[in-house]
Amino acid sequence: MRPLSKHLTDPRHGWFLGLPVLGLLWIGATLVAEPRIERAIEGAGRLAAIAEGGSDPWLRVHAEGRQLVAGGEAPDAAARDAALARLARLEGPRTIRSEIGLIVDASPFVWTAVRETDGAIAVAGSRPAEIGARHLTNLIVPEATGSIVVRDEARAARGAPPDFAVAAAYAVARLRQLAPGASVSITDTGLSLRGAARSLADYDTLRRALAEPPLGFRIDRAEILPPTVSDFQLAVERRRDGGLVLDGNVPSEAARGGLRALAAEAAEGAFVDDRTRAARGLPADLDADALARALVRVAGLLSEGRVRYEGGRISVSGDALDPQAREEIASFLRADVPSGVSAGDVALTVRPLSPYRVVLRRDADSVTLSGHLPDAATRDRLRANLTARLYRERVVDRLRIADGAPEGLSEALAPAVSAFALLVSGELAVSDRTLSLRGESLYAESGARLAETLTRAMPRGWTVQAAVETRDGREPRQDADSCRALFQSEATDRRLRFEPGSALLKASFYPPLDALAALAKRCPDLKVAVLGPTDPPGSKPIPEKDPEPAPAAAADTKKPSAKPAPSKAQDKAQTKTPAQKPDTAAQAKPAVPDEPSLARQRALALTEYLMTAGMRTGQLVPGDTAAPEAVFELR
């Protein structure tokens, strides 16, 4: 056996032999004893916390070695100090570290949840002091996707709205439809959402949910972007009956609204079926509104077919309205498509027009003409006949020229336009040799007799379908004293002065005349004498001008009424076509001399307007004198 090294046997160096052993003993003691110490310290701290009150106390403790960390939100500073003093009396902890916050009054009360990139939900802001953090997490986590992680850094506070937990669960549920980076917040009773939908289905679900917020809460702001798709496409389909079907994608809700408005105008009263879904994916340099206008414009030149944008190209298939429409579509695709779009496949046919259609549609401020006529002369006659019976309404002319018109079309349109002018709103439609008139009239008598009158005026072989309602009798009735008081209160507004030597109504006349007609409808026993004014002595007549465009005579304050044909004083030089029939109102007018005086002409013009605005014949009586200005007297 070899002897030990001399330096190892030296008593001065022998203590080195014990260092490894001591190190191993210290490590073992730490690994075994420290967890026990931490558990003991933490257990003692929790016992102290439970002693603070309740099975779910506000005080939360955990050990970090021999250090005890205290957290939670104390209701006030005194409760915090008392809790720290209780923990300080424990024998195990070396130190006490306080992370205790104080419950404060939060106004506004703001709570925010953010969906992070790893799918977790980070909660910040304030939570109700009466709801523990763990309990609130348990309320909102079932509403989230799967076993989602909630990182709650919200602080307890007073001032939460009622049913806050319901609103928080609703808000977190909305995060399941949003991509990472989205956020939801509750500010008092208002909810705000911001982010991008994960998919088309999530976007639709989210929009439905936003329409029904929790009871007692409202949606203050919803900045939701649609999802991104790789195959953005949009199509407009024209059905045989004139309706339009919208399909594919739109880049935003605003773009959807614009497309619907364009389609409604192009459909001309037919249905619009919107099946589009909002999605991103349209090239950034492509104008979405210009694309929508292009598709609807081309669809308007089809009698049946489909216009489609896909992959940067516009393709068209179906039947063109007429040969000219086919050329217009080809020209448009060659030169007028939006920047960034090119022409795609075009497969168009042209079929004979069947049925041959003409449509006149009247709404609050315009009359729209659409369909086909055989030649420009027929169109000019139609427009002249129509505009002579309109005051304010603008005429939107979309008529096209095409062969195939039924025999007698011009003769049928002349009396039909006269009847159409009596409608407040409605439609005159020709389909081959069938003429239909539907809408609302101011006149009970003329409305009831329109079908009979039109049938007699139609050429041989034509049929008439009329469905005309009347507004007569719908106005609330007023007693005689109220009627007289209202009539007198508005007398100042009815001081009407004509231009010297003229019997033409001015634009300023229409509001007071409309008001008088509306009053007469509420007062069926009201009788009014109309006195035409004379010119002051020495006044010089001015050259006659065309009548100013005037607002529609209003039967009430909501909808404009139909306008009469120009009075005898206004259209004396005009030639009446043989097929035109005298208006019912004109037949009922008081008789006037063949050569009426200027005052009589003016009274007649005022009477005609009032009758067209809804006054009945029995409510108007002729005046027996003249005055410097128009006078309306009760009789």
Q: Each residue of 453-511: pLDDT tens digit? A: 888 899 999 999 988 887 655 556 777 778 888 877 766 566 778 888 888 877 677 77
Listed in sequence order, the residues at least 6 apart from 586 whose beta carbon sits closer than 8 Å to its beta carbon are: 564, 565, 608
The pLDDT confidence band at residue 176, using thresholds 50, 70 and 90, is: confident
Q: Is residue 5 part of a domain?
A: no
The pLDDT confidence band at residue 586, using thresholds 50, 70 and 90, is: very low
The pLDDT confidence band at residue 42, using thresholds 50, 70 and 90, is: low
In a shared domain, residues 117 and 191: yes
In a shared domain, residues 237 and 327: yes
78-95: burial string, b at 16+ Cβ within 10 Å, e else: ebbeebeebbeebebbee
Alpha-helical runs (H) found in 530-614: 584-587, 598-612
Domain containing 623: what range? 480-634
In a shared domain, residues 341 and 361: no
Let me know the angle formed at the C-alpha of 208 by 207 and 212, rounded to the nearest 5 degrees. 110
Asked if the model's pLDDT at residue 330 lies above 80, the reply is yes
**Residue 102 near residue 74, CB atoms below 8 Å:** yes
Domain boundary among 207, 225, 243: 225
In a shared domain, residues 424 and 295: no
Overall average pLDDT of the 211-239 stretch: 95
Overall average pLDDT of the 569-588 stretch: 40
Q: Which residue has the higher pLDDT, 187 or 47?
A: 187
Q: Which residue has the higher pLDDT, 3 or 194?
A: 194
Query: Tell me, what's the pLDDT at 5?
Result: 55
Overall average pLDDT of the 84-109 stretch: 79
Query: Tell me, what's the pLDDT at 258?
Result: 95
Range of lowest pLDDT (104-113, 146-155, 407-416): 146-155
pTM for this prediction: 0.59
Q: Find the helix packing angle between 164-175 and 133-140, rounded to 10°.
A: 50
In a shared domain, residues 463 and 417: yes
Overall average pLDDT of the 522-551 stretch: 66
Query: Tell me, what's the pLDDT at 541?
Result: 59
Query: Tell me, what's the pLDDT at 111?
Result: 96
**CATH number of the domain residue 285 falls in:** 3.40.1520.20
Q: Is residue 3 part of a domain?
A: no
Which range is most confident: 143-152, 295-304, 414-423, 494-503?
A: 295-304
In a shared domain, residues 218 and 256: no
Q: How many alpha carbons lie under 13 Å from residue 586 in its C-beta half-sphere?
A: 15
Q: Which residue has the higher pLDDT, 447 or 594?
A: 447
Overall average pLDDT of the 225-243 stretch: 94
**Residue 462 near residue 434, CB atoms below 8 Å:** yes
What does the mean pLDDT of the chain come to? 79
Percentage of the chain exceeding pLDDT 90: 39
The pLDDT confidence band at residue 301, using thresholds 50, 70 and 90, is: very high
Q: Which residue has the higher pLDDT, 564 or 212?
A: 212
Which range is most confident: 34-48, 366-380, 535-549?
A: 366-380
Overall average pLDDT of the 545-558 stretch: 41
Q: Is residue 4 part of a domain?
A: no
Asked if the model's pLDDT at residue 554 lies above 70, the reply is no
Query: Tell me, what's the pLDDT at 463?
Result: 92
Range of lowest pLDDT (35-39, 57-61, 205-209, 392-396): 35-39
Q: Is residue 14 part of a domain?
A: no
Q: How far apart are the first and last CA of the chain?
A: 151
586-621: burial string, b at 16+ Cβ within 10 Å, e else: eeebeebeeebebbbbbbbbbbbbbbbbbbbeebbe
Domain boundary among 72, 102, 132: 102
The pLDDT confidence band at residue 565, using thresholds 50, 70 and 90, is: very low
In a shared domain, residues 98 and 110: no
Domain boundary among 300, 319, 350: 350
Among residues 623, 621, 611, 630, the alpha carbon closest in space to that of 521 is found at: 611
In a shared domain, residues 521 and 558: yes
Report the domain count for the chain.
5
In a shared domain, residues 87 and 177: no
The pLDDT confidence band at residue 78, using thresholds 50, 70 and 90, is: confident
Percentage of the chain exceeding pLDDT 70: 74
In a shared domain, residues 117 and 176: yes
In a shared domain, residues 122 and 216: yes
In a shared domain, residues 451 and 368: yes
Overall average pLDDT of the 422-434 stretch: 90
